[in-house]
Structure 1
Amino acid sequence: MFRSIMPPAATLPTVADWRDFLALTKPRVMTLVVFTGLCGMLAAPGGVDPVIGFTAILCIALGAGAAGALNQWYEADLDGLMRRTAQRPLPAGRMERGSALHFGVGLGAFSVLFMLFAVNLVAAAILAVSILFYVLVYTVWLKRRTPQNIVIGGAAGAFPPLIGWAAATGDVALLPVLLFALVFLWTPPHFWALALYMETDYKAAGVPMLPVVAGERVTRRQIGLYTIPMAATALLPWMLGLTGWLYGAVAAITTAVFAAMAWTVATRTTAARGDAMTPEKRLFKYSILYLFLLFGALVADRWFA
């Protein structure tokens, strides 16, 4: 019998195509990042030149994509252990790690420099901080070390409204700071709802998410607790007179729905695992819609109310 000299199919080198590079940028996450950045820009006083505005949003998108690529480069081993992420380009073997690293670094550097020379220094500086925070603070430092990874790391996804506002005005004011705080406080209940029904994946990968380290009961209580300051922050722009009645009405209604769903999750004792549409999964999905509705109302209030 002759033994084949060809390596098994799984070990044959593969060449990544454009879809793999697009997947590195986490396009679904990027959508929300770009939207909140755009809304921060459109809510700013005085308006912005369309070309400058388009450039700023492009830079925000490229910066978010760079952060996503570097996150996947660093976490390729973890992604390969979780069902939700096992088919990403690196753990699936469709791309070499070096390619992801070079792509992420190049995209990040280009986005910051483009923002600097085409928009303004303040927006470029905040964009650079957001990329570095997500990669170095959240991905490298916090993700594998502490169950507070989402709490502190949530700041990474909260920068886009600040960047958008700074792109339009060249500075930072109270309203975009409140929007930053809103996203920052929204992040823990959003991700912990996901972690409750993906606990098995995180446990298999050794990621110290709160349900893995402290258990479901503590996680549910924390979701309820973090929803309280998040809800207050969502209403603050209207209460302080920074927005009009339209934003206030939408914020009150959508936040009440969020709070009710979070209360259901916080007081539930049944395990959250599985593919069924559980309260945890409903809260996670609604939390994404919630930000879209809230930031959309902010722009509508600024331009039409």
Structure 2
Amino acid sequence: MVSFTMGKLKDFMEVFKVKQTLLLLITGICSYLEGLRIAGKPFDALSFLAVSLSMFLTISGTTGVNMVLDADIDSLMFRTKNRPIPMNRLTKRETLVTSMLLIVTGLVCGLLVNVYVATSGLLGFLIDIGVYTWLLKRKSPWSVVFGGFAGGMPALGGWAGATGSFGLGGVMLMLLVAVWSSLHIWTLATYYVDDYRKANVPMLPVVYGEKRGVQGSFLVALIVLFISSAIYYLGLISIWGYVISVIPLLLAIVFLAMSLRRGNYRDASFRAFKMVNMFMGLFFLLLALS
């Protein structure tokens, strides 16, 4: 039996990475609202609530399972060693039980809308846990490329919740988040490269060096710019929304390009990391407001 106190609730919020979860939830909600606009459908409060709850619960639960599987890695890294499981504030068992309960509840909420919403939630779990965490994270520097598709599933699910199918618009928004995820992780991993080396996690900058980490991030940033431009040309975001949202991305590209000349890889990667996070939130908020 899992008992809850205020302190334990705070620990669970940390395990579920509430800030990251909310960012992914924003992509799903904004995709839902944009899907309604494209499909010419009226806003349905019950459908919106079910889709939002489905995404929030499945994202949180999947993150919790990830924390259980990565507890040994987290205990070795300075950035993560004080998380609830490594510090024994939460046990693996209670975290796993709570996380699976959230996932199942989230999938049921998705089925109340349509099978596509539930499918996207299930795919997010299977890709993140099965492909990224279980199969690749400890073996390949390219794990984040495949794992990023898990992060794109809320956007795909939100679109499907509004339109009743995945569709080109949903796929493009999913791809944007999926590719952005590699940029998000590689910029962070380049800054914290010593942590990942200590934990023996073969991230790109660990295996090939910090310069390669920046080069990989720079290339992915250009791909993100290309996908976001394609989304604009599809008519999913207005010109002003597109221009405003890509400013942080362009700044990140400049930081990364300058670091290749100056050699300040870690500092530039952290500055780029903050910019790419700002880009993702801005892009989807302005997508919904366009």
Give your verdict on TM over 0.5: yes
Q: Aligned to 2:24, which of 27, 33, 51?
A: 33
Q: Partner letter of residue 204 of structure 1?
A: K
Q: Aligned to 1:99, which of 80, 94, 107?
A: 94
**Aligned residues of 2:54 and 2:108 also touching (Cα < 8 A):** no
Which of the two has greater helix per residue? 2
In 2, the alpha carbon distance for the partners of 1:126 and 1:179 equals 13
Gaps of at least 5 residues in structure 2 are none
1:254 Cα offset (Å):
4.2
Q: Aligned to 2:73, which of 70, 73, 78?
A: 78
Distance 1:213 1:243, change over 3 A: same
**Aligned residues of 2:51 and 2:158 also touching (Cα < 8 A):** yes
Q: Look up the match of 1:174.
A: 168
Q: Aligned to 1:289, which of 271, 278, 283?
A: 278
In 2, the alpha carbon distance for the partners of 1:180 and 1:100 equals 28
> 1:53 aligned to 2:48?
yes
Q: How many aligned residue pairs are there? A: 281
1:252 Cα offset (Å):
4.9
Q: Look up the match of 2:116.
A: 122
In 2, the alpha carbon distance for the partners of 1:189 and 1:129 equals 21
**Aligned residues of 2:221 and 2:249 also touching (Cα < 8 A):** no
Q: Look up the match of 2:60.
A: 65
1:156 Cα offset (Å):
1.0
Large movers: runs of 4+ above 4 Å? none
> 1:244 aligned to 2:235?
no
In 1, the alpha carbon distance for the partners of 2:235 and 2:83 equals 45
Q: Look up the match of 1:155.
A: 149
Distance 1:202 1:255, change over 3 A: closer
Distance 1:252 1:68, change over 3 A: closer
Aligned sequence identity (%): 30
**Aligned residues of 1:254 and 1:294 also touching (Cα < 8 A):** no
In 2, the alpha carbon distance for the partners of 1:222 and 1:112 equals 35
TM-score (ref. length: structure 1): 0.87
SS class of match (1:159): helix
Structure of higher CA gyration radius = 1
Q: Partner letter of residue 258 of structure 2?
A: T
Q: Aligned to 2:178, which of 184, 200, 205?
A: 184
- Kindly report the root-mean-square deviation, in angstroms, between the aligned alpha carbons of the 2 structures: 1.7
Distance 1:188 1:268, change over 3 A: farther
**Aligned residues of 2:251 and 2:272 also touching (Cα < 8 A):** no
Q: Partner letter of residue 285 of structure 1?
A: K
